[in-house]
A = this chain, B = another copy of it.
Amino acid sequence: MNKRAHNFSAGPCTLPLECLEEAQQEFVNYRNSGMSLIEMSHRGKHFMEVAEQAESLCKEVFEVPDDFSVLFLQGGAILQFSMVPMNLLTPETRAAYVNSGSWARGAIADARQYGDIYVAWDGESCNFTRMPNTKEISLQDNTRYLHITTNETIGGIRFPSWPDVDVPLIGDMSSEYMSRPVDWNKFDLIYGGAQKNLGPAGLCVVFVRKSILENTNKNLGRYLRYDIHESKSSMFNTPPVFAIYMFGKVLKWMRKEGGLSAMQKNAAEKSALLYGTIDQSGGYYRCPVDVACRSHMNVVFRLPNDDLEQQFLKEAAELDLMNLKGHRSVGGCRASIYNAMPFSSVEALSTFMHDFSTRNG
């Protein structure tokens, strides 16, 4: 039995133990081939099977309609910040962005290198404590897409429902990937890094509406073209073999656990336990986020003062409640409770929070 910490890291982060143990067991001599999977040609039968399974499983688990393709890319969500406008914008069109915080700001900054970009709603005035509702989003003529960051990892906010606008949505779902159903009709493209809900770092999973690929920009280096990756089933160049393999294992685990609806339900219950602990602490813990927009993945909270926060983090770590420090840009505490985080770990955190506030109230 492997010792396990309660790992509240914002990513890379907790993965299902059974996936790790299976991978360990298979690591050196994959299916008695005399090779590790990471030593095998990506065009050989073993890895082709792994990649095909990951592709079909992620469409099944994420309930992806047939008019979308999935691409396994590299460079993280951040390379998508460039690839989206590079591929989708033309000199005649512009793109709208919701500025919902740290990650949205990055997407906007990169997109500005590749086209006419404007901010359709700016969360700065409310200090990024909520998402906009549809009627607050101001769209201009010739807008090719509205880009949203569906969950902000640092601010701990999410869209409670998808904006209902007349242009296609593009979603960066990195920090809540495959934890809730998507209204696919509204989206042209969804992307995200795998290193939170889906697997290890080094894999970016992109879902793209097939019909838009005909009109994407072809005057790009080939790695930067969605149509090239799609036409080669993500085998245009050597893909990140090990990350795809682990992603496949996580998908199998997700399916076994009950799929997307189970992930959604678990996330709601885990986050409700922590938000309840915060809200029922008589103001000892405070969550700055608008109640309707509270993330089900990243629960941010403050204690009465910095000294108590330091003490809290120190005592938590002594109980193996790890990586609860908030992002350095905002301070405070943050519990990231991604799909693979067991309910029991969230309970352990809640119990500790009760105990700590009682002792230090």
Do residues B78 and A39 form an inter-chain contact, with CB atoms below 8 A? no
Q: How many residues of A contact B (CB 8 A)?
A: 71
Q: Which residues of B contact A74 (CB under 8 A)?
A: 74-76, 79, 202, 240
| Interchain CB contact (< 8 A) of A15 among B10, B36, B41, B73 | B36
A220 sits at the interface (CB 8 A)? yes
Chain B residues whose C-beta falls within 8 Å of the C-beta of A202 in the assembled complex? 74, 202-203, 239-243
A165 at the interface (CB under 8 A from B): no
Q: Give min CB distance, A147 to chain B, whole Å.
A: 14
The segment out of A57-65, A105-113, A295-303, A307-315 that lies at the interface is A105-113
Q: In the complex the two chains form, is A241's CB within 8 Å of B200's CB? A: yes
Give A228's nearest chain B residue, CB to CB: B78
Which of A16-24, A205-213, A272-280 contacts the other chain? A16-24
Tell me if A265 counts as interface (CB < 8 A to partner B). Answer: no
Q: Give A164-195 as 1s and 0s: 1 = Cβ < 8 Å from B's Cβ atoms.
A: 00000000000000000000000000000101
Report A175 CB to chain B, min CB distance, Å: 12
CA distance A37 to B66 in the complex (A): 36
Q: Which residues of B contact A114 (CB under 8 A)?
A: 221
Contact between B15 and A38 (Cβ–Cβ < 8 Å)?
yes
Pairwise interchain contact A76-B238, C-beta atoms closer than 8 A: yes
**Which of A1-17 touch B at CB < 8 Å?**
2-5, 7, 9-15, 17
Q: What sequence of 0s and 1s flags, for each residue 214-258 of chain A, a beta carbon within 8 Å of any chain B beta carbon?
A: 000001111110000000000011111111001000000000000
- Chain B's closest residue to A82 (CB) is B221
Question: Roughly how many angstroms separate A34 CA and B17 CA in the complex, as a whole number?
Answer: 11
Of the listed stretches A25-33, A134-142, A353-361, chain B binds A25-33
Residues of B close to A86: CB separation below 8 A? 221
Copies in the complex: 2
Contacts of A29 in B (CB 8 A): 2-3
A197 to chain B, nearest CB (A): 12
B35 and A7: CB pair below 8 A?
yes
User: Which B residue sits closest to A219, measured CB to CB?
Assistant: B113
Q: Which residues of B contact A282 (CB under 8 A)?
A: none
Instruction: Write the chain B residue with the least CB distance to A76.
Output: B237
A200-B38 in contact (CB<8A): yes
Bound-complex Cα distance A205 to B223 (A): 17
Give residues of chain A (80-109) contacting chain B, Cβ–Cβ below 8 Å. 81-82, 86, 106, 109
Output the nearest chain B residue to A199 by Cβ-Cβ distance.
Answer: B38
Which residues of chain B are near A73, meaning CB under 8 Å?
Answer: 75
Q: Which 10 A-B pairs have the closest CB atoms?
A: A82-B221, A5-B34, A202-B240, A74-B74, A110-B221, A38-B200, A24-B27, A79-B223, A202-B202, A78-B237
Interface residues of A (CB under 8 A from B): 2-5, 7, 9-15, 17, 20-21, 23-24, 27-29, 32-36, 38-42, 44, 73-79, 81-82, 86, 106, 109-111, 113-114, 193, 195, 200-203, 219-224, 236-243, 246, 320, 322-323
Would you give 18 A-B contacts (Cβ < 8 Å), ordered by A?
A2-B29, A3-B32, A5-B35, A7-B34, A12-B38, A12-B241, A73-B75, A74-B74, A76-B223, A76-B237, A78-B237, A81-B221, A82-B220, A82-B222, A82-B223, A113-B219, A201-B242, A242-B243
